[in-house]
Structure 1
């Protein structure tokens, strides 16, 4: 299965390649981003490298799909969005995301998640999506 990129009015959702490791690290090293994430903030670039590699590895075996969120206006990497615990057999997955705080409360996450949900139901044939939320 080839990686399928998505696009919205303001965003491009792209495969997360090594060129985005530094920006991913910068975002995930912020305590305000990881506060409810279920893991501590990153403290070393190597951690980001390992996570980005796991995104590719998990996609290859159909366990998850993770897109980088690119803001079209500046072509900046501003976060990620994806389907975790993807089960093609039972046709379900969980939606997850993280976003640079500079872009919070601007509708970016809603826009990205909407594109991913549409893709999940229409193209992947999923029947159920879940999400864990925090205040």
Structure 2
């Protein structure tokens, strides 16, 4: 399967390659980004290399798709967005995203997520897209609600981070809800 390139008015969503390792490290070494991510911040460039390798391997195995978010006009790499736990046969996946803090609250993830969701329902023929957030991550769950996701409930002790099990909210959007928007 060829990697799908997606575009919006401002953004191009591209395959993440070795050329992007420094950007990936910059994002995931920032504690503000990983605070609610379910993993510790990066301290070594090798961690970014391993993550990029896993993005590529999981795409080849059809288990996930992770795009780099790039501004069309400047080619600047500002974040990533993708599908985790992709199960084509079961017609479901989970969406996840991250963004350099200097670009927060500019509608970038909303714009990118809209393109990814459309791709999921139109091209992959998925029925359900889930999302998991920390209850304290209000900007993220508000974004999901604005995208048409519904809060389904609380997953107790679902994410292990900072040496403890943390609760998480689960959200979803299903194809009929998206089409009716």
| Alignment partner of 1:74 is 2:55 | no
Compute the RMSD of aligned alpha carbons: 0.6
Aligned length: 135
CA distance in 1, matches of 2:32, 2:4: 30
CA distance in 2, matches of 1:4, 1:132: 24
1:48 match: 48
Larger radius of gyration between Structure 1 and Structure 2:
2
2:89 match: 89
> Which has the larger strand fraction?
2
Normalising by structure 1, what TM-score? 0.98
Question: 3-state SS of the aligned residue for 2:132?
Answer: coil
1:128 match: 128
CA distance in 1, matches of 2:26, 2:61: 28
CA distance in 1, matches of 2:23, 2:81: 14
Normalising by structure 2, what TM-score? 0.74
Gaps of at least 5 residues in structure 2 are 139-181
CA distance in 1, matches of 2:68, 2:116: 12
CA distance in 2, matches of 1:104, 1:73: 18
Task: After superposition, give the CA deviation of every residue in 1:16-53 in whole Å (9 maximum; x if it has no partner).
Answer: 01000001101110000000000010000000000000
**Which stretches of structure 1, 4 residues or longer, exceed 6 Å deviation after superposition?**
none
CA distance in 1, matches of 2:96, 2:27: 15
CA distance in 1, matches of 2:89, 2:72: 35
